[in-house]
Structure formats: structure tokens, C-alpha cells
Structure 1
Amino acid sequence: MAKEKINNEQEQVEEKEVTETTAQEQNETAEQDAKSEKAEASKKDKKSKKEKPEDKIEALGKELQEIRDKHIRLQAEFDNYRKRTMREKMDLVKTGGETVIVNILPVIDDFERALMAFSEIDDKDPLKEGILLIYSKFQDFLKQNGIAEINALEKDFDTDLHEAVTKIPAPKEELKGKVVDVIQKGYLMNEKVIRFSKVVIGE
């Protein structure tokens, strides 16, 4: 019994020693693994430190290129906007009084009809003189505002300038397809038609 007890104790001691040895070996292995991991991490850090400035330069280069592109686009957009607004402003200046002028044109027509009615009256007649004076002032006003009469009589019919009211047989062969009579005068304002000439075409 005593021998068995001793043997058991001896076995327990041996097992304990084996366990301690195994634990120690495991600790040593763990320490070695930790050291190797630290070494690898430090290598990676060194590599990343070496690579970082290059990456930063590349990223900054890309960012600078994007900013340049944005700047060029914005500059082009602003330039187009400036040109467009200038053009619109010029058009407004040119055609700003178009509505007023168009409304005055019927008054000019009435003056011309009155002058036709006074054609048989002596030029020294005070009434005729007064109408001629007012008519000439209207004509000056139209010229100052860039208004020009469309010369249509005996001209080729042009749909960009004339509006055909009717067709009649041409009094002469050479007047076929041309304007033989003007019912209402047309006008241009700075080369833009503000009223088409109402005409009669010869056929």
C-alpha cells in the first residue's frame, strides 16, 4: 500500500512537471509569436510610412486637377452668362421701344391718308402746312429710333418682308410675281421686321 502511494505521488509529480513544461513551452511559443507579429507590424509601419507621402502627393495631385477642371468650367459658364446677358441687354436697347413704335405706326398711316386727301390743295394752305410739319417730325422721330420703311412697290414678293393680301392680273409682263400695289406700308426696326407690308401681287 505504501509503495502504491509513493508511485501515485511520483506519477502526480511527473504529470505536474510535464504540465509545467508544456505550459512553459506554450508561453515561449506565444512570446515568439508575439515578437514575430510585432516585427511584422513594425515592418508594415515602416513600409506604410515610406508609401504615405507618395500616396498623399498622388491624392493631392488628383484633387488639384479636379479643382482646376471645376475652375475652368465655372469660368466658361460665367463667360457664357456674361455674353448672353450683354446680348440680351443690347436686344432690349434695340427693341425696347418696339411696342410704342408699333402703336404709333397707324397714326403715321392716318397722316399719309390725310396728305393724299390734301394733294389737290395748294401747298401754302396753312392746314396742309401744319399736317406736313407734324408728318415730317414723325418721320424724323422714326429715323432716330432706327425705323425704316420697307420699299415694296414693284419689288419681288418676299415672304420675309411682305404679306400678300390678294393677286391681280399684272398690268405689265415684267410685274408678274412682283408687288403691284401696297395696301399698308411695312417697317423695319434695326433690320428686324416690326410690321409686314400688306401687298397685292401681280400674276
Structure 2
Amino acid sequence: MSTGEKQAEQDVNATYANDAEAADNHVDAPQEEQVEAASGELEQLRAQSEENYQRFLRVQADFDNFRRRARAEKEDFAKYASLKLIEQLLPIVDNFDRALSSSKETKDFDSLAKGIDMTFRQLDQVLTQEGLKPIESVGQPFNPEIHQAVMQVETDEYEEGIVVEELQKGYMLKEKVIRPAMVKVSV
């Protein structure tokens, strides 16, 4: 090999070495940048994850507080649900008390009967306002949903299956039967 060839070979080798070193540097730089970018993105995602977890804990605590408040309100409502009705009944109780006290002193039983009748009408008015209504039975066809038959009687006055007599009044609260009427039914 001549000196010129040796020199050319060295130049080529040097060029390859420089190119390889430059390529290594060129590859390392983007990899380091990618690692730094990924590391920064990872930290950002960790911070976002921690923020979401804290938000989750706050929402869970708020929900637990809401559930406790709702339970307490429900218990209070159940405890005092009849308050409005009781307030309406108190004047009636007062009237019964006055009627009884007055009749003990005066022995006027006609006035007592009038007072009790007026007080009963007042009580009936309050119960009607609350949605209580009596079940009409006599002369109606027997209905097992609203009547309780305790006796059967033979009669020429009514057809078979008609309520002849009401032994105990039945009541409905709005659309619900709270006590069926106790009746005698014709056969």
C-alpha cells in the first residue's frame, strides 16, 4: 500500500469514527430529551392523579355528610310527622275538657250533649281536612276490599250480596282503606 492509499484509508476511518461519534451523540441527545420529557410528563400525571384522589376523598366525605344529614332529617320527620294533626286536635281536646268540667259543676246534661256534639263535629272537620272519609256501606254491594262481613242474614228487602247493616264504620285515608267496615250481608 502506498502512502497515499494509507492516508486515504486513515481519512476514511477518521471520517467513519467522527460520523459514528456524532451519531452516538446525536442518538444520546434525543434519548435524554425523551427521558426528560417522559419524566416531566410522569410527574405531571402523578400530580394530576394526586389532585383527583384528593377530589375523590372530598366528594366521598361530602356524600357521607349528606347521608348522615338525610338520615337525621328522616328520623326527625318520622318523630314529628303527626305534629300538624296534633296541633289541630288540641283545641278539640280543650273543648272536651271544658264540656266535662262544666257538666260536673252544673249537672246540665243537655248542655253537655250539645257541647259534645259540637266538639265531635269539630273533630270530624279536622279529620276530613286530613283526608279521612267514612266508607258508605248500607245498601251497597259487598266489596271485600272495603267491607268485612261478620254476619249473613236472610232478607226480602235486599238482593243477595248487599250490605244490610253496618256494625262498625269503616274509614279510608285518601285512597287507602285504614279500617274496613264491619257489616251484615244479605244472602
Structure 1 length-normalised TM: 0.43
Q: TM-score, normalised by structure 2?
A: 0.45
Q: Choose 1 or 2 for highest CA Rg.
A: 1
